[in-house]
Amino acid sequence: MAETIIPQEILDTYFPKTSDLPIEQDDKRKETLLAQIRHRVELVNFWFIPPGSKVLEIGCGQGDTTLVLAAQVGEDGHVDAVDPGDPDYGSPWTLSQAQSQLKSGPLGHRITFHHAFPILFLESLFSPLSSSSTTQDSKPYTHIILSHSSFYFSSPSLFPQLISYITSLSSPKTTSPTSNPITKQTQICIAEWDLSATSPAQFPHLLAIMLQAVSEGFKKEGEEGDGNVRCVRSAKRMREVMRRKGWKVEREMVKDGSGLEDGLWEVGNVGRRKEGELERVEAVEGKENKEGNVLEMMYDVLDLSLGNVEGGAKGVEAMGVWVASFAREDF
């Protein structure tokens, strides 16, 4: 239905060999990037996004999915990609470096990056000050995408708040001085880790995610987490939120995560924070330190889980991914 997306072309266009990496390391780099691009292509294909679509991507990060979405929507489509993240955050490229790189490529004109909180961005669309040039005329969004972004939300209330707000915009009762950016035809498309480790090689990925969620859960109100994953919600709970707000599953699947290195990266993220975090919680006042004990337990369980993976930390595999698209219930 759309132009065929060739992962290799995306790789060659956006991630050409620029440094003097030894050939072996460059092959490894290519393999890693290709797996990520292929994964995003599969997500986007599953969501059925026809050419000419106008897409809002929430939590775009470095633009891994954004780029594939831009290829998918074709010359007549557009992607508004929103992320509240610090432009200097991220590795090996920061958010702003990665986004600039995509903007300067052949698909860049199909993408507008917005540095904003999602709900505030949606509100800004109604402001008379908002420039329509940032959002490809006044066409409503055909799809709203959350691709591996829900776990990064800073608090559990944000996801239901966001869905509530989108729902209110898609309601026929909504009147607006400008044309409505969301209609009852707008679909919501989600991809997120499925939290089901089917083998000992996937268990460390799950544990690294759980550890970060538990650590975040212990933070006091107003205490800012510096973690990566911050608020974990299973597919079942996301489905529940969607249903309560008036959205029904159109299609869903669990996609194999093999080949993706996210499990390995997540274990690395957690490992780098371990020492600092245990020092921080051990410095907490009071003779009982239940929080410190729980975090120690989780770090130890993660370490032990690596002992059950062939090849140790390097053999960690990514979990499966829940992929779904939702449409408004008839009203």
| Residue (126 or 152) nearer to a second copy, CB | 152
Q: If we measure between CA atoms, which residue out of 64, 78, 79 comes closest to residue 34?
A: 64
Residues lying near a second copy in the complex (CB under 8 A) are found at 155-157, 194-200, 203, 206, 210, 213-214, 216-219, 221, 231-234, 236-237, 286-294, 296-298, 300-301, 303-305, 307-308
| Residue (71 or 318) nearer to a second copy, CB | 318
What is the Cα–Cα distance from 112 to 275, expressed in whole angstroms? Answer: 39
Instruction: Please report how close the Cβ of residue 243 comes to a second copy at its closest, in angstroms.
Output: 16
Instruction: Please report how close the Cβ of residue 219 comes to a second copy at its closest, in angstroms.
Output: 7
Instruction: Please report how close the Cβ of residue 322 comes to a second copy at its closest, in angstroms.
Output: 10
Task: Please report the beta strands in 6-155, taking only residues with DSSP state E, as ranges in sequence order.
Answer: 54-58, 78-83, 111-115, 141-147
| Residue (64 or 317) nearer to a second copy, CB | 317
Residue 177 DSSP class: S
Instruction: Please report how close the Cβ of residue 260 comes to a second copy at its closest, in angstroms.
Output: 19
| Residue (125 or 231) nearer to a second copy, CB | 231
| Residue (47 or 322) nearer to a second copy, CB | 322
Distances (CA, A) of 45 to 31, 195, 328: 21, 22, 20
Are 87 and 80 in contact, with CB atoms under 8 Å apart? no
The three-class DSSP label of residue 156 is coil
Instruction: Please report how close the Cβ of residue 233 comes to a second copy at its closest, in angstroms.
Output: 7
| Residue (249 or 304) nearer to a second copy, CB | 304
Helix or strand (DSSP H, E) at 254: strand 247-255
What is the Cα–Cα distance from 27 to 237, expressed in whole angstroms? Answer: 39
| Residue (44 or 232) nearer to a second copy, CB | 232
Instruction: Please report how close the Cβ of residue 148 comes to a second copy at its closest, in angstroms.
Output: 16
Residues with Cβ < 8 Å from 42, sequence gap 6 or more?
255, 323
DSSP β-ladder status, 182-193 and 141-147: parallel
Instruction: Please report how close the Cβ of residue 310 comes to a second copy at its closest, in angstroms.
Output: 12
Q: If we measure between CA atoms, which residue out of 233, 229, 215, 224 comes closest to residue 297?
A: 215
Place of tokens 């009071």: 286
To the nearest 10°, the Cα dihedral for 138, 144, 150, 153? 10
